[in-house]
């Protein structure tokens, strides 16, 4: 025998698909299935997001390119790691570090204690990730609980950079159709295209509130309803606290409303928590706390301290536990708590919580129908379902995503296990009919807005191609 044949077989250089042994489906997002896999090079478990590229004539999927481009440059303990990218057939495969669940599962798991040390820990990790992104001139633009993943070691990982953008060039204008509606800052709702890191900070404020309340703070069923809920919770903005807001492109006049004390809703939260929340939810983006400054807030240096992430309790529901067929959509179904805010997509809850992409115009157009003066034929039929319709400029009855939570006629999501909230949301007009109403219901405005939204979807899809083309 020759020496060569005595040598142990050399390991094949694994590349692309051959490197991974695929396992169960973990979930499904807007662009394709996410599957668990083992990386044969490192023996690590990974999550492979398969993105359908479609036919060549449909062009490049800019969301995927954007996610890859930005994530390849970002490295942080609380930002999801993009391990590898490889093409296979007509798909692009994005290999991520594997996570077990997300913050939405944490919020909804009623057996999971969520007191100040735990909330502090999640908010701190989120702020650290976002402070890093902002220092790297990246806006995430889709912050929400189900984009904050939980790794097997308990660490929070900011994920889904499909809507993320580089910012910092003066005079650059972006689309305002970003973020899931419930986490959308007021300047976006009023049509601003010249926004900055404040939009991510507002969303963090909403997530912070949601962790304390164990339910979404502002679960609007349309853009106007979203503003109404924000104004019910925080009062209507004034020239003093938000100079110039009346000149914003989509400004609508609401009847004046004064903010109820936050303490009324967040009954057991420490005072530092409410101070931080208020500063994250400042109307004027220029006055909103930055992520770096938020991390210096007394909330984090006061007792009780944040729980170290390895000690955080883990949600019982893990990705793929439902067989993976529907991702967090199915998870939502299982817990039975959160039907999508806009059900046009027929149960695609993940999509419903994400800013609509090109071609999703019907989604908003239909949702916005609920804002218009109550003349549509479907009005009476849908009244019970769609809380917050207008009747001559005044809100009436209704229900949206919370309907299931309150189907028993009573309390919203349990605050057991350490939640800081009460069911005062209804009393404060955040849940129901007492929100400030549009003082001028302008049909022409609403009609125009629907058209604007169609245009916005087109713009959102072209934003990527322009960016690629224009550098
Ligand atoms: P996405 O396309 O990013 O919205 O992800 C869709 C679904 O896939 C999520 O809701 C999760 O169920 C699952 N998923 C995404 N990324 C990961 C990951 N890194 N680890 C485990 N599961 C993931």
**What structural domains and CATH numbers belong to the chain?**
16-97 (3.30.200.20), 101-311 (1.10.510.10), 341-470 (no CATH)
Alpha helices, DSSP H only, in 303-442? Answer: 327-335, 349-352, 361-369, 379-382, 424-427
Say how many Å lie between the CA of residue 5 and the centre of ligand 1. Answer: 45
Q: Tell me, what's the pLDDT at 130?
A: 98
Scanning 281-317, the segments in alpha helix (DSSP H) are 291-295, 298-301
Distance 98 CA to ligand 1 centre (A): 9
161 ligand 1 Cβ < 6 A: no
pLDDT in tens, 171-229: 788 888 889 999 999 999 999 999 999 999 999 999 999 999 999 999 999 999 999 99
**Can you give the pLDDT at residue 285?**
98
Q: Is the CB of 144 under 6 A from ligand 1?
A: no
Sign of the dihedral defined by the CA atoms of residues 442, 443, 447, 450, in that order = positive
> Distance, CA 373 to ligand 1 centroid (Å)?
39
420: nearest Cα among 214, 126, 148:
214
- Residue 19 is predicted with a pLDDT of 94
Per-residue pLDDT of 259-296, as tens digits, reads 999 999 999 999 999 999 999 999 999 999 999 999 99
Is 143 in contact with 209 (CB distance < 8 Å)?
no
pLDDT at 350: 36
The reply to whether ligand 1 has any atom less than 6 angstroms from the CB of 49 is: yes
Residue for token digits 């090079």?
A: 41
What is the pLDDT at residue 192? 94
Neighbours of 159 (CB within 10 A): 25
What are the residue ranges of helices labelled H in 197-346?
198-213, 223-234, 271-280, 291-295, 298-301, 327-335
Give the separation between CA 69 and CA 206, rounded to whole angstroms: 28
Predicted local confidence at residue 214, as pLDDT: 97
Residues annotated as catalytic are 142
Q: Hunting for tokens 């189900």 — which residue is that? A: 146
> In residues, how long is the chain?
471
pLDDT at 7: 61
Look at residue 61 in the predicted model and tell me its pLDDT. Answer: 72
Ligand 1 nearest-atom number relative to CA 327: 12
For ligand 1, whether the C-beta of 196 sits within 6 Å is no
Ligand 1 atom with least separation from CA of 96: 19
| Structure tokens given for 223 | 């853009």
pLDDT at site 29: 80
pLDDT value of position 259: 95
361: nearest Cα among 439, 457, 460: 457
96 lines ligand 1 (CB under 6 A): yes
- Testing ligand 1's pocket by substitution, the residue of 158, 327, 334, 354 carrying the most ligand atoms inside 8 A of its CB is 327
Report whether residue 160 contacts ligand 1, using a CB cutoff of 6 Å. Answer: yes
Q: Does residue 51's CB lie within 6 angstroms of at least one atom of ligand 1?
A: no
Residue nearest to atom 13 of ligand 1 (CA): 27
pTM score: 0.73
How far is Cα 460 from Cα 186, in angstroms, rounded to an integer? 19
| Residue numbers in the chain where pLDDT is lower than 70 | 1-13, 54-60, 322-471
Give the residue carrying structure tokens 């040598």.
Answer: 7
Atom of ligand 1 nearest to the CA of 98: 20
């Amino acid at each position: 025998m020759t020496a060569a044949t005595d040598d142990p077989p050399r390991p094949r250089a694994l590349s692309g698909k051959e490197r991974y042994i695929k396992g169960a489906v973990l979930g499904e997002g807007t662009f394709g299935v996410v599957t668990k896999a083992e990386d044969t090079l490192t023996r690590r478990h990974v999550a492979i997001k398969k993105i359908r590229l479609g036919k060549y004539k449909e062009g490049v999927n800019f969301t995927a390119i954007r996610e890859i481009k930005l994530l390849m440059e970002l490295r942080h303990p609380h930002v999801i790691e993009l391990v590898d990218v490889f093409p296979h057939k007509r798909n692009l495969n994005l290999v991520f570090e594997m996570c077990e669940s997300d913050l939405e599962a944490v919020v909804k798991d009623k057996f999971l204690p969520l007191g100040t040390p735990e909330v502090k820990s999640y908010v701190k990790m989120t702020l650290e990730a976002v402070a890093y992104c902002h220092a790297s001139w990246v806006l995430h633009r889709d912050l929400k609980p189900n984009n904050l993943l939980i790794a097997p070691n308990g660490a929070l990982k900011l994920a889904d950079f499909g809507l993320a953008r580089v910012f910092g060039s003066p005079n650059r204008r972006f689309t305002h159709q970003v973020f899931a509606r419930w986490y959308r800052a007021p300047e976006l709702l009023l049509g601003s295209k010249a926004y900055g890191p404040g939009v991510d900070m507002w969303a963090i404020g909403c997530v912070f509130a949601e962790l304390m309340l164990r339910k979404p703070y502002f679960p609007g069923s349309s853009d106007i309803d979203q503003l109404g809920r924000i104004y019910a919770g925080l009062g209507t903005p004034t020239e003093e606290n938000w100079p110039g807001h009346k000149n914003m492109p989509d400004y609508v006049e609401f009847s004046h409303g004064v903010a109820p004390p936050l303490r009324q809703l967040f009954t057991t939260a420490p005072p530092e928590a409410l101070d931080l929340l208020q500063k994250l939810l400042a109307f004027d983006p220029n006055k909103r706390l930055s992520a770096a400054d938020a991390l210096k807030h007394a909330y984090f240096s006061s007792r009780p301290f944040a729980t170290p992430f390895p000690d955080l309790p883990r949600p019982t529901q893990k990705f793929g536990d439902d067989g993976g067929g529907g991702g967090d959509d199915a998870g939502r179904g299982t817990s039975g708590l959160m039907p999508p805010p806009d059900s046009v997509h027929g149960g695609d809850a993940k999509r419903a919580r994400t800013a609509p992409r090109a071609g999703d115009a019907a989604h908003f157009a239909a949702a916005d129908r609920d804002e218009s003066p109550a003349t549509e034929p479907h009005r009476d039929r849908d009244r019970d379902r769609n809380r917050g319709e207008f009747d001559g400029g005044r809100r009436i009855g209704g229900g949206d995503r919370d309907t299931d939570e309150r189907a028993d006629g009573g309390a919203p999501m349990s605050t057991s296990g350490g939640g800081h909230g009460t069911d005062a949301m209804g009393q404060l007009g955040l849940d129901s009919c007492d929100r400030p109403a549009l003082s001028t219901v302008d049909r022409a405005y609403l009609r125009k807005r629907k058209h604007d939204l169609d245009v916005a979807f087109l713009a959102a899809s072209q934003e990527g191609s322009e960016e690629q083309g224009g550098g």
